[in-house]
Structure 1
Amino acid sequence: MAEQAEDQEQEVSSGAAREPVMDAPGGGAPAPEEPDEANPEAGPENVEFSTGGKSIEIGNFRVFLDLRMPEFDMGPCKAYSADNLRRDEGSAFAVVADPALPTRQEHINFLTGMHMAGQIDLLDSEIAYWPPFGRNTMVLFYEKPAGGRVVTGESKKATIDEHEIGTVVIEPLMGVLQSFGEKNLAHRNIRAGNLFYADPLRQKVVLGDCAATPPGYAQPLVYETTARMSADAAGRGSGTIMDDLYALGMTLAELGIGHRPLSKLGDQEIMDLKLAKGSFQAIASQERLPLVLIEPVRGLLCDDPEERWGFAELNAWLDGRRTKPVQANSEKRAARSQNLSGRDYYTVRSLAQGMAKNWVSALAPLRDGTIEIWLRRGLGDNDRAKALADAMRQLQWAGADKRAAEDVLVARAILIMDHQGPVRFKGFSAMVDGLGYMLSYDVQHGRGPQRFADVIVRDIPAYWFGRQEGFSPEIQKLQQVYKNLRYYVQQQSAGYGYERCLYALVRNQHCLSPMIEQEYVVEISQLLPALEKAAESASEDSWPVDRHIAAFIATRLEDDIEGQLMAMQNPSDEVEYSRAIISMLAIVQWRHGPDNLQNLSHWVARLMEPAIKVFHSKARRERVETEIPKLAKRGNLVELYNLINDEQERRKDQSEFVEAVAEYSEAESEVFDLESSGPARLELAEKVGQQAAAFASTMIALLTVSALFLMHIF
């Protein structure tokens, strides 16, 4: 399972804790050395050193690098004290995102500058250079809540009376969920460890950050529903408001019992217990819940989303009205177990999890029909048994690649057992709405894209969609997103592949091209300024567009560039390849600027030689070559592209070329005729001469004979 971030456990004092160096990005890599304080060239110009310590100005804020505020950390994203330079009142803090984890742009856009009761105020966000990283990353600025953290590290016991939880906790959090729901968003960071008192009197709570990490990444596993808990932390998915309501129920349980539920158990033990007994019964069997909280906790921890409490039931409970009791919703247990790798399983979801953990061993009981029989006889589940039989028949129709077909069978069997759970394939586990985040995590943490590519090429998500019941707008939306992924993965040329999938699935994924990755380019408008900086040290034979940049442009630019991507499929065609790259960059500059890109223009100018070959006229090529340096100085890629793509000039050049070719062909034909017909003409002349000589000699002979005859007579 991917690295899972935990809440901070240490005691937090009222002042900011001091911690000189922030963790390195990527969850474990060594941190880059900090800029040398004695060397002004070691870091950015806006790093200052004062009696208060080292600080850096980012936008309208000054962030203190040596004043850590760990109570506001969000998983691997660390928090620092900050001053709002535009306001004298209030205090702020900065959450520095881990650049190896994508942030949530929709949440940033929604919350920035908005005051919402129950949610900490997001004042602003900036992409900025962060000295401990030695690179750019996203920094989020929040208003510091006045009352401190609800659950502290020493006692873990919240200072909220259980009879006041309704007004202090539930009411403000319901307001947040309703506001998020109106935007079709889910918070996905609701937990007791992310609660703060909004005021010094501690009459209301507010939720902390929900945008610095992928959805659900920082959540303890116990806070995830039975459907999502078996996914890797990075692949838990965006979820819905129903997942937030479940997390609210677990939050109430933690506040009531004074510590995180099931904290003494490991992750696998928590999953096994929740699958075996159901979420509420798992908590109730191990923890002592306050009597007043049993009803809302039971309703919110219902494992069936259709039966789970919503706003109506919560409001009724707050008003003191009785609500419909939630029935026990643990899964149906089989009369006899299904054994797999020496362990007995009694429910289909627990068996699905067991198959995912024992991939190789799962194939045998599938092929010999043991699991199908267990479904029919042990559970009386003929629908699942029939689906499994159909999957087995498809295996028999498989071609030469039997191993791949067997892997697909196991993956489909898992989805048959647990159709609401994640897509699982040979160690890969992610919800369908979390596949993009899982791909991002794998690529940036050394695993690479192969696991994701295997899942997509084998069409496992399509089978997941086919197993869903009823109509859901969220599922319909997901299907639209995923319909092109298989085509993208199967294409090997620039602008496609896993890179295209990554930027299509993760809206806030920064471009991972090695040329500009350190610049943290999230928006298309940031691309060319980053390339302008990269052009300062670019090698003369390198191209300013690689696979990542081509895919980034294809997904972020509103214009259709499929024609340019098609031209890039054949790098050996230097003319079309170079023209396609110049065209893509010119369109980006035309749409998003900036107007002056001298470094990038000179970089492109050095690579324009193949594109100049499109002109046939030597004089025209020389004129274009003369114009290129002049236009490069102006930093306008559009003008450079128009120089080699002037349709009027190209038509004129083509027309002149056709005429020249025709004239040349005609002249060459005449020369050929003259050169090739010489011997024939000599032979003809000789023959005609011989004929003339013969005729002349005959006439002379006749005349002579006639003269002699006349002389004889007379």
Structure 2
Amino acid sequence: MAQEPKATNNVKSGPVVLRERFEIDPSKPLAALDMPNARAFACSDRRNPQRPVYALIVDGPLPPRVGVMRTLRGVSATGLLPLMEWGVVDWPALDGRVMAVVYERPMGGRVMRDMGEVFQPVPDQHFIKLVLKPLVAALGELRLHSVVHRAIRPTNLYWMDREQTRIALGDCATSPPGYDQPMICETIEGGMANPEGRGAGYYPADMYALGATLVTLSVGHNTRSDLTDDEILTSKISNGSYASVVGEERVPLAVIELARGLLVDDPAQRWTLDAIDLWLNGRRTMPLQTKQDKRSQRPFSFRGDEYFTCRSLAHALARDWEAGAVPIMENKVETWLRRGLEMTELADSVSNIVRASNATAKEAGPIRDLAMAAVLTLMDPVAPVRCNKIRMHMEALGTALACTLALRGDVRPYVDMIMRDFAKTWVAAQDDFQLDYTRFDGEFRDLRSYLVQTSKGGGVERCLYELNEALACRSALLLDQCVVEIKDLLPALERAAVKADRKQWPADRHITAYIAARYPRDTMAQIHSYNDPDPRKAALGGLSLLAVLQWKLGPESLPSLTEWIAGLMAPVLEGYHSRERRKRLEKEMPKVVRKGSLVELYHLLDNPEERQADFDGFAVARRQYAQAAQQVAALESGNYRVSEKSEKLGQQTAATVSVAIAALSIIIVTIISLV
């Protein structure tokens, strides 16, 4: 589960306003409406004060689904909790900014407060009208907007009125898709994945969750509350989902056929909204049952248990990673596939992978882990990718990486998977190949190109933002600023500049990668300069990178950020050779800082005319200095010789002076003799 959100206590400030319309009161929490990754607070609508609303403040560590917020804003549909507005607001309790989502407030409360609660089930005669039809209508509306809910569970259903006659699906935007789902509401494939690796999936996942939820609502409690998550998943694999979810419960007749259709383990045969509509109109046909996996005549024994199918054995081997490596790397699994299941082609593929890995059961490391992951994928292609601690579906790579970083986990396994191009292995293993799968190959190719860029603007940080188009910037400078849009980056840095360490550059690896992913068109040349080994060029590159953003996106004035960056321009000033010019620039910089213009600061420090004049003046000075140095050296060595031109001029001058002196001498002698 997600880490607990930060506490919100002793709040004395006034309401926080979202979009100049919704007033959120930080001093009035609504704990009964909290979500795992967000806290609920009282809220009022300035335009319609009579309408009950409340706000969810996403102060947990996990990334919300901003794309879903954008899509569902203003959507009003039967059976769906209306999302009124969303956005980033100042939050005094955290001394920062957070994501806020405003919903219409359900006055009847939650249908089920927690998965361990026992409650009065909805009567059979009202079940279809009160529960099924509104939820089907909600899913239909979501489908029209291309949204997969991925949070359908009994604890996320609400009664919109105090009389409890109108039910609605709750929030699906404040947590990653599927992250908070109980095991009973997850498909086998979803349950095999880690919470962060479940992914948004497809509509059949919502239909499955609907089926499990309807069973719970019809009997008044969680039918599998006596089992652990692992026991529930193992039961589903062995016995099928319907038998595992329903168990020994006496499900109302009106729900049995519906549950059978929705809990089919094969997503291709699982009931759709159209099938439910046909069922509601009297076309009651028995759901098709999932085709059973091929069973071996001889079981595979592993850690005291026996396994007869590829899926059950792959699941067992993945659960105990170190022990599971032994039978795979010692070719025992290959032998069982060849002799027990008579799957020669699969056995050959497994043998090739093990041989190519050049690893043994005792050689732990990325090569062995990826070899095991490839074998498990071949044995169960529709299961999530299982590589040591990674358990994720391919479409969930971005979410898994974001959650791992948010929870300070180890991202190296994801890097190894990308660098070794595991997408090709996964695509090749799929029995039901779809054209859409090829996008993973191209995606991994792009990600590898970012990973090999070890400089700022590349690396795993760039992969993070390329995979998550609406993820807030994860820079340590901006963790409390919730920067979702590129236009909000500079204002956030302006606020951060007040308490930041100004010896460090404001554009760290995360910020540079965020800019590269969100605004690559006009910034790649600047990022390249920012990574230059020459301190002067790097400083100018960092300045120009942020100056371009201010020029293109605003705001007009950023005095604190400009002052911060001006203090880092020593390498640029030292790049000028003229002391007089450096002093003049230092004198003019405070005027630009007061204006808060990074653009003017850049033009001041990198004026082409000033730079050329400084270069030309320095070149002249160097020549003069070199000539003087040569003359001094010649004089000191006694080898000083004047030039031929100078010597001739000297001779002429000497001759002229000599003649003048001689003439003067003759005149004087003549005068004396006459006297």
TM range (shorter): 0.7 to 0.9
Q: In the superposition, relative to structure 1, how do residues 160 and 642 fare at CA in structure 2: closer, same or farther (>3 Å)? A: same
Note the 1:526-541 alignment, pairs <5 A: 526-541=488-503
- Indicate conservation of the 8 Å contact 1:554/1:560, yes or no: no
Name the SS for the 2:192 alignment partner. coil
Task: State the one-letter code of the partner of 1:631.
Answer: V
Instruction: Give the Cα separation in 2 of the matches to 1:340 and 1:568.
Output: 55
Name the SS for the 1:246 alignment partner. helix
Q: In the superposition, relative to structure 1, how do residues 340 and 636 fare at CA in structure 2: closer, same or farther (>3 Å)? A: same
Instruction: Give the Cα separation in 2 of the matches to 1:324 and 1:657.
Output: 91
For residue 556 of structure 2, what is the aligned residue in structure 1? 595
Name the SS for the 2:428 alignment partner. helix
Q: In the superposition, relative to structure 1, how do residues 67 and 605 fare at CA in structure 2: closer, same or farther (>3 Å)? A: closer
Q: In the superposition, relative to structure 1, how do residues 616 and 137 fare at CA in structure 2: closer, same or farther (>3 Å)? A: same
Task: State the one-letter code of the partner of 1:637.
Answer: L
Residue 469 of structure 1: CA displacement? Answer: 4.1
Note the 1:278-297 alignment, pairs <5 A: 278-297=240-259
- Indicate conservation of the 8 Å contact 1:99/1:520, yes or no: no
Name the SS for the 2:386 alignment partner. strand
Q: Deviation per CA, 1:241-278, whole angstroms, max 9, x where unpaired?
A: 12111111112221222222322110000110011112
Residue 379 of structure 1: CA displacement? Answer: 2.5
Task: State the one-letter code of the partner of 1:441.
Answer: C
Residue 151 of structure 1: CA displacement? Answer: 3.4
Task: State the one-letter code of the partner of 1:267.
Answer: D
Name the SS for the 2:47 alignment partner. coil
For residue 27 of structure 1, what is the aligned residue in structure 2? 4
- Indicate conservation of the 8 Å contact 2:423/2:440, yes or no: no
- Indicate conservation of the 8 Å contact 1:357/1:427, yes or no: no
- The structure 1 residue matched to 2:399, chosen from 425, 430, 437, is 437
Instruction: Give the Cα separation in 1 of the matches to 2:285 and 2:433.
Output: 27
Name the SS for the 2:101 alignment partner. strand
- Indicate conservation of the 8 Å contact 2:86/2:101, yes or no: yes
Q: In the superposition, relative to structure 1, how do residues 407 and 96 fare at CA in structure 2: closer, same or farther (>3 Å)? A: same
Instruction: Give the Cα separation in 2 of the matches to 1:516 and 1:320.
Output: 57
For residue 86 of structure 1, what is the aligned residue in structure 2? 47
Instruction: Give the Cα separation in 1 of the matches to 2:43 and 2:640.
Output: 98
- Indicate conservation of the 8 Å contact 1:127/1:138, yes or no: yes
Q: In the superposition, relative to structure 1, how do residues 177 and 616 fare at CA in structure 2: closer, same or farther (>3 Å)? A: farther
Instruction: Give the Cα separation in 1 of the matches to 2:505 and 2:71.
Output: 37
Name the SS for the 2:193 alignment partner. coil
Task: State the one-letter code of the partner of 1:119.
Answer: L
Number of aligned positions between the proteins: 639
For residue 209 of structure 1, what is the aligned residue in structure 2? 171
- The structure 2 residue matched to 1:468, chosen from 414, 430, 434, is 430
Residue 673 of structure 1: CA displacement? Answer: 8.0
Q: In the superposition, relative to structure 1, how do residues 494 and 341 fare at CA in structure 2: closer, same or farther (>3 Å)? A: farther
- The structure 1 residue matched to 2:523, chosen from 552, 561, 564, is 561
For residue 570 of structure 2, what is the aligned residue in structure 1? 609
For residue 224 of structure 1, what is the aligned residue in structure 2? 186
Name the SS for the 1:138 alignment partner. strand
Q: In the superposition, relative to structure 1, how do residues 375 and 289 fare at CA in structure 2: closer, same or farther (>3 Å)? A: farther
Instruction: Give the Cα separation in 1 of the matches to 2:611 and 2:314.
Output: 64
Q: Deviation per CA, 1:45-65, whole angstroms, max 9, x where unpaired?
A: xx14xxxxxx65555333344
Instruction: Give the Cα separation in 2 of the matches to 1:482 and 1:406.
Output: 20
Q: Deviation per CA, 1:499-531, whole angstroms, max 9, x where unpaired?
A: 222222223332222222112222212211121
Task: State the one-letter code of the partner of 1:576.
Answer: K
Instruction: Give the Cα separation in 2 of the matches to 1:540 and 1:293.
Output: 64
Q: In the superposition, relative to structure 1, how do residues 383 and 260 fare at CA in structure 2: closer, same or farther (>3 Å)? A: farther
For residue 184 of structure 1, what is the aligned residue in structure 2? 146
Name the SS for the 1:484 alignment partner. helix
Instruction: Give the Cα separation in 1 of the matches to 2:33 and 2:78.
Output: 18
Instruction: Give the Cα separation in 2 of the matches to 1:363 and 1:543.
Output: 46
- The structure 2 residue matched to 1:140, chosen from 101, 111, 114, is 101
Residue 288 of structure 1: CA displacement? Answer: 2.8
Q: In the superposition, relative to structure 1, how do residues 155 and 656 fare at CA in structure 2: closer, same or farther (>3 Å)? A: closer
Residue 218 of structure 1: CA displacement? Answer: 1.6
Instruction: Give the Cα separation in 2 of the matches to 1:269 and 1:681.
Output: 102
Residue 103 of structure 1: CA displacement? Answer: 0.7
Task: State the one-letter code of the partner of 2:4.
Answer: G
Q: What is the Cα-based RMSD across aligned positions, in Å?
A: 3.1
- The structure 2 residue matched to 1:342, chosen from 304, 308, 314, is 304
- Indicate conservation of the 8 Å contact 1:80/1:93, yes or no: yes
Residue 595 of structure 1: CA displacement? Answer: 0.8
Task: State the one-letter code of the partner of 1:414.
Answer: L
- The structure 2 residue matched to 1:298, chosen from 245, 249, 260, is 260
Once the two structures are overlaid, the 10-residue window that deviates more, 262-271 or 538-547, is 538-547
For residue 505 of structure 2, what is the aligned residue in structure 1? 543
Aligned-pair identity (%): 34
Q: In the superposition, relative to structure 1, how do residues 649 and 343 fare at CA in structure 2: closer, same or farther (>3 Å)? A: farther
Note the 1:77-476 alignment, pairs <5 A: 77-151=38-112, 156-157=118-119, 159-199=121-161, 202-323=164-285, 325-396=287-358, 403-472=365-434, 474-476=436-438
Task: State the one-letter code of the partner of 1:88.
Answer: P
Residue 180 of structure 1: CA displacement? Answer: 2.9
- Indicate conservation of the 8 Å contact 1:102/1:508, yes or no: no
Note the 1:623-634 alignment, pairs <5 A: 623-634=584-595
Instruction: Give the Cα separation in 2 of the matches to 1:673 and 1:466.
Output: 79
Q: Deviation per CA, 1:627-660, whole angstroms, max 9, x where unpaired?
A: 3221111001111122233345445555665666
Instruction: Give the Cα separation in 2 of the matches to 1:150 and 1:126.
Output: 28
Once the two structures are overlaid, the 10-residue window that deviates more, 382-391 or 445-454, is 445-454
Q: In the superposition, relative to structure 1, how do residues 93 and 473 fare at CA in structure 2: closer, same or farther (>3 Å)? A: farther
Instruction: Give the Cα separation in 2 of the matches to 1:330 and 1:653.
Output: 81
For residue 515 of structure 1, what is the aligned residue in structure 2? 477
- The structure 2 residue matched to 1:501, chosen from 439, 443, 463, is 463
Name the SS for the 2:85 alignment partner. strand
Task: State the one-letter code of the partner of 2:409.
Answer: R
Name the SS for the 2:550 alignment partner. helix
Instruction: Give the Cα separation in 1 of the matches to 2:344 and 2:529.
Output: 53
Q: In the superposition, relative to structure 1, how do residues 116 and 639 fare at CA in structure 2: closer, same or farther (>3 Å)? A: farther
Instruction: Give the Cα separation in 1 of the matches to 2:374 and 2:124.
Output: 45
Task: State the one-letter code of the partner of 2:403.
Answer: Y
- Indicate conservation of the 8 Å contact 1:598/1:633, yes or no: yes
Task: State the one-letter code of the partner of 1:352.
Answer: A
Task: State the one-letter code of the partner of 2:99.
Answer: M
The TM-score normalised by the length of structure 2 is 0.86
For residue 638 of structure 1, what is the aligned residue in structure 2? 599
Q: In the superposition, relative to structure 1, how do residues 330 and 66 fare at CA in structure 2: closer, same or farther (>3 Å)? A: farther
Instruction: Give the Cα separation in 1 of the matches to 2:441 and 2:142.
Output: 23
Unaligned runs of 5+ in 2: 644-675
Q: Deviation per CA, 1:477-513, whole angstroms, max 9, x where unpaired?
A: 4444443223333433222222222222223332222
For residue 51 of structure 1, what is the aligned residue in structure 2? none
- Indicate conservation of the 8 Å contact 2:10/2:27, yes or no: no
Name the SS for the 1:537 alignment partner. coil
- Indicate conservation of the 8 Å contact 2:121/2:218, yes or no: no
Q: In the superposition, relative to structure 1, how do residues 515 and 658 fare at CA in structure 2: closer, same or farther (>3 Å)? A: same
Name the SS for the 2:480 alignment partner. helix
Once the two structures are overlaid, the 10-residue window that deviates more, 264-273 or 520-529, is 520-529
Residue 578 of structure 1: CA displacement? Answer: 0.7
Instruction: Give the Cα separation in 2 of the matches to 1:681 and 1:588.
Output: 60
- Indicate conservation of the 8 Å contact 1:333/1:379, yes or no: yes
Instruction: Give the Cα separation in 1 of the matches to 2:433 and 2:402.
Output: 29
Q: In the superposition, relative to structure 1, how do residues 492 and 548 fare at CA in structure 2: closer, same or farther (>3 Å)? A: same
For residue 14 of structure 1, what is the aligned residue in structure 2? none
The TM-score normalised by the length of structure 1 is 0.82
Instruction: Give the Cα separation in 1 of the matches to 2:458 and 2:513.
Output: 6
Instruction: Give the Cα separation in 2 of the matches to 1:679 and 1:556.
Output: 66
Q: Deviation per CA, 1:446-476, whole angstroms, max 9, x where unpaired?
A: 3243343343334334422332345546534
Instruction: Give the Cα separation in 1 of the matches to 2:611 and 2:430.
Output: 56
Instruction: Give the Cα separation in 2 of the matches to 1:642 and 1:199.
Output: 62
